[in-house]
């Protein structure tokens, strides 16, 4: 086919200073979280879910010195055509 694929796992740092900031951004800008907020809000369970979401984010992104570091892994794929 004349096409070669290269794959590389890459970490993308997220520009947030806390779990609260992360969730606030995602609940207004990231489609799946926007939808979850809408549906869970209709059921009256969004606030409880949101609290747990913030806690979860804080639990794996808090650094030993009390800072916050959140990175997301993604797969970078580059296709090159010969010639």
pLDDT at res. 63: 83
3-state SS of 60-77 is: HHECCCCCECCEEEEEEE
One pLDDT digit (tens) per residue for the chain, 83 residues? 789 999 999 999 888 999 999 999 999 999 999 999 999 999 999 999 999 999 999 998 888 888 889 888 999 999 999 87
The 8-class DSSP code of residue 7 comes to: E
pLDDT at res. 67: 84
The rounded Cα 39 to chain-centroid distance in angstroms is 20
pLDDT at res. 18: 93
CA atoms of 81 and 8, how far apart (whole Å): 18
pLDDT at res. 24: 97
């Amino acid at each position: 086919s004349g096409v070669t694929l290269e794959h590389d796992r890459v970490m993308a740092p997220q520009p947030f200073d806390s779990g609260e900031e992360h969730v606030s951004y995602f609940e207004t800008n990231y489609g799946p979280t926007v939808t979850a907020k809408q549906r869970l809000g209709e059921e009256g369970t969004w606030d409880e879910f949101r609290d747990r979401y913030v806690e979860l984010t804080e639990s794996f992104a808090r650094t030993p010195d009390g800072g916050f570091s959140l990175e997301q892994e993604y797969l970078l794929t580059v296709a090159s055509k010969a010639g």
